[in-house]
Amino acid sequence: MGMASRHERAVAALRASYAAAPAGRPVRLAKRTTNLFRSRAAGGRGLDVGGLSGVIEVDAAGRTADVQGMCTYERLVDATLPHGLMPLVVPQLKSITLGGAVTGLGVESTSFRHGMPHDSVLEADVLTGSGDLVTARPDGAHADLFAALPNSLGSLGYATRLRIALQPIAARVALRNVRFTDLDALVAAVEEVTAIGAWAGRAVDAMDGVLFAPDEAYLVLGTFTDDVGTTSDYTGRAIYYRSLRERTTDLLTAHDYLWRWDTDWFWVSRALGVQRPLVRRLWPARYRRSDVYHRLMRIDDRYRITARFDRTPRERVVQDVEIPIGRTAEFLRWLVDHVPITPVWLCPVTPRRCAPLFPLASGRTYVNVGFWGTVPAGRGTNRAVESTVAELGGLKTLYSEAFYDRETFDRYFGGEAYRAAKARYDPDHRLTGLYEKAVERR
C-alpha cells in the first residue's frame, strides 16, 4: 500500500473516531508527547492520530512536500535532506510536529527571511470542530480558516495534511559567531542582515543569537555551503551554546545544524546535570534530546520533586516573546534588570503575512526573545513580562502559561476573527476554546 492510500485510511479512521466521540464532551488528540509549558487539558476522548505522522510525498522539482499533521520535524527533515531541501523554517526541537508548529507558532534561524512555519503552508486539509474535512487555501471558500489556523492551538480543527514550500540547503552550514558588546550595535547588525541578506560581504542564510550579558551577545550567521572541511560534533561531549564563546567560526553538517539546539534543549539540560562531564559520559547519547528532558521535567513538575528541596519558593518563567526590532535593545535591558535568567535566545523573524490570531505586521522585523528558567516567587514576573511586551508593541507566544483576562486576550489575539471562525467551523464548541486552552487550561 502506498503512502497516499495509507493516508486516506488514517484520515478515514480519524473521522470515524471523531464521529463516535460522545456529544457534549470535549474532544482532543491522543498525543504521547508535547512541547507545551502550560497545562494540557485533562479528560475527554483522545482521538488516535498515530496514522498521521508521516511524509506523504516530497516534490523535489516543485520544492513542496505533502506532510501529515502529526509528522515531527525530525521525520520531515529526514525526508527532505536527501533531496538537498529543507522546510523554510525548521523549529529547533525534533519532536515538534508540523501541525503543532503551524497552529501553535514557531521560529528558527531562517525566520528573518521566511517568517514562521505557517508562512510556508500552501494548503491544508483540516478536520474541523463540526466534523467536516475541508481544504483551506489562501483564497477560496475556506480562506478564513486558512488565515485563522496560526495560533488557533487546535481549537478550530486538526490539520491532517499540509502542503508546504521547501528551500534548498547545502551539505554544510558555515557559521560566524560575531560578538557584540553593545545591544544597539547588535540590533543594527540584525537590521543590516535582514535588509541585504549579507554581513561583511558574505551571504547569510540563517541568523540567530545568544545574550549572555548586556556586554556579551553573539549573532550566529550561517551560510549554506558545499565547501569541504572538518565539521564539529555537538551531539557528544561538546556543548553547542558554549562554542559561541570559544570559536569565531564553525562548520556543521546540514543535519547537525538544524538540530544543534536539540541535544541540550538549548542550555536547559544543565538543570538536569547532563552538562556535567561525568553525567554526560554516562548519559546514553540516544537520550540526549529535548523530548527526553521535557518528559523528565514534567515528571518533576507533577510530583514537585525539586520544589521540595527549594528553601525559597520559585516562579517558573518560560517565555518566547516577539519584540519589534526598534524596541529590542530596550526590552533586553529591561529583561536583564528585572528577570535574572541567562542565557537568552535571540531569533529575528519577518512574517510573510499577518495572521489574525497572532497579528504581527507582515514584512516588519521582530526579534523573538526566549528565556527559560525560574526566579524567586512573589514578584509577579510573568505578568510583568506580559505587560512590558504589550507596552513595547510586541506579542508573546502561548505555549507557556498566560495570565491575560479575556478582554485583553481578545484584543491581542484577534478575538473578533477567532469568534467568527469558531462560529463557522466549530459551532457546537466540541473543541476546547483558544482562551480556555491558553489561559484557563481546562
pLDDT band, residue 341 (cuts 50/70/90) = very high
pLDDT digits (tens, 9 = 90+) for 96-155: 999 999 999 999 999 999 999 999 999 999 999 999 999 999 999 999 999 999 999 999
What's the mean pLDDT in 86-98?
97
- CA–CA distance, 280 with 276 (Å, rounded to integer): 6
Q: Which of 63-67, 187-191, 270-274, 333-337 is the least confident region?
A: 270-274
Does residue 306 or residue 199 have the better pLDDT?
A: 199
- CA–CA distance, 114 with 234 (Å, rounded to integer): 26
Q: What pLDDT, on a 0 to 100 scale, did the predictor assign at position 173?
A: 98
Q: What pLDDT, on a 0 to 100 scale, did the predictor assign at position 312?
A: 84
Q: What pLDDT, on a 0 to 100 scale, did the predictor assign at position 23?
A: 81
Type of residue numbered 282: L
Contact 67, 168 (CB under 8 A): no
Per the prediction, the chain carries an average pLDDT of 94
pLDDT band, residue 442 (cuts 50/70/90) = very low
C-alpha separations of 118 from 7, 34, 36, 167, 331 in Å: 22, 19, 18, 15, 26
Q: Name the CA dihedral angle for 71, 73, 75, 78, rounded to a multiple of 10 degrees.
A: 150
What's the mean pLDDT in 271-282?
94
Q: What pLDDT, on a 0 to 100 scale, did the predictor assign at position 275?
A: 96
What's the mean pLDDT in 51-67?
97
Q: What is the CATH number of domain 3-169?
A: 3.30.465.10
Q: Does the pLDDT of residue 34 top 80, yes or no? A: no
Q: What pLDDT, on a 0 to 100 scale, did the predictor assign at position 3?
A: 95
Q: What pLDDT, on a 0 to 100 scale, did the predictor assign at position 427?
A: 96
Judge residue 216's burial from the number of C-beta atoms within 10 Å of its C-beta, 0-12 exposed, 13-18 middle, 19 or more buried.
Answer: middle
Q: Does the pLDDT of residue 374 top 50, yes or no? A: yes
Query: Which of 246, 250, 253, 271 has its CA nearest to residue 170?
Result: 253
pLDDT band, residue 40 (cuts 50/70/90) = low
Query: Which of 177, 165, 232 has its CA nearest to residue 346?
Result: 177
Judge residue 96's burial from the number of C-beta atoms within 10 Å of its C-beta, 0-12 exposed, 13-18 middle, 19 or more buried.
Answer: buried
C-alpha separations of 41 from 45, 235, 305, 436 in Å: 11, 34, 22, 9
pLDDT band, residue 311 (cuts 50/70/90) = confident
Query: Which of 343, 323, 334 has its CA nearest to residue 390?
Result: 323
What's the mean pLDDT in 311-336?
95
pLDDT band, residue 394 (cuts 50/70/90) = very high
Q: Does the pLDDT of residue 24 top 60, yes or no? A: yes
Q: What pLDDT, on a 0 to 100 scale, did the predictor assign at position 344?
A: 98
What's the mean pLDDT in 402-408?
96
- CA–CA distance, 425 with 292 (Å, rounded to integer): 35
Q: Does the pLDDT of residue 236 top 90, yes or no? A: yes
What's the mean pLDDT in 35-55?
72
Query: Which of 376, 326, 322 has its CA nearest to residue 347?
Result: 322
Q: Does the pLDDT of residue 28 top 90, yes or no? A: no
Q: Does the pLDDT of residue 193 top 50, yes or no? A: yes
- CA–CA distance, 125 with 354 (Å, rounded to integer): 21
Q: What is the pTM of this model?
A: 0.95
Query: Which residues neighbour 336 within 8 Å (Cβ) at sequence distance 6 or greater?
Result: 213, 214, 342
What's the mean pLDDT in 41-46?
55
Contact 324, 364 (CB under 8 A): yes
Q: Does the pLDDT of residue 279 top 90, yes or no? A: yes
**Grid cell in block for residue 403:** 495570565
Contact 86, 167 (CB under 8 A): yes
Q: Does the pLDDT of residue 299 top 90, yes or no? A: no
Q: Does the pLDDT of residue 32 top 70, yes or no? A: no
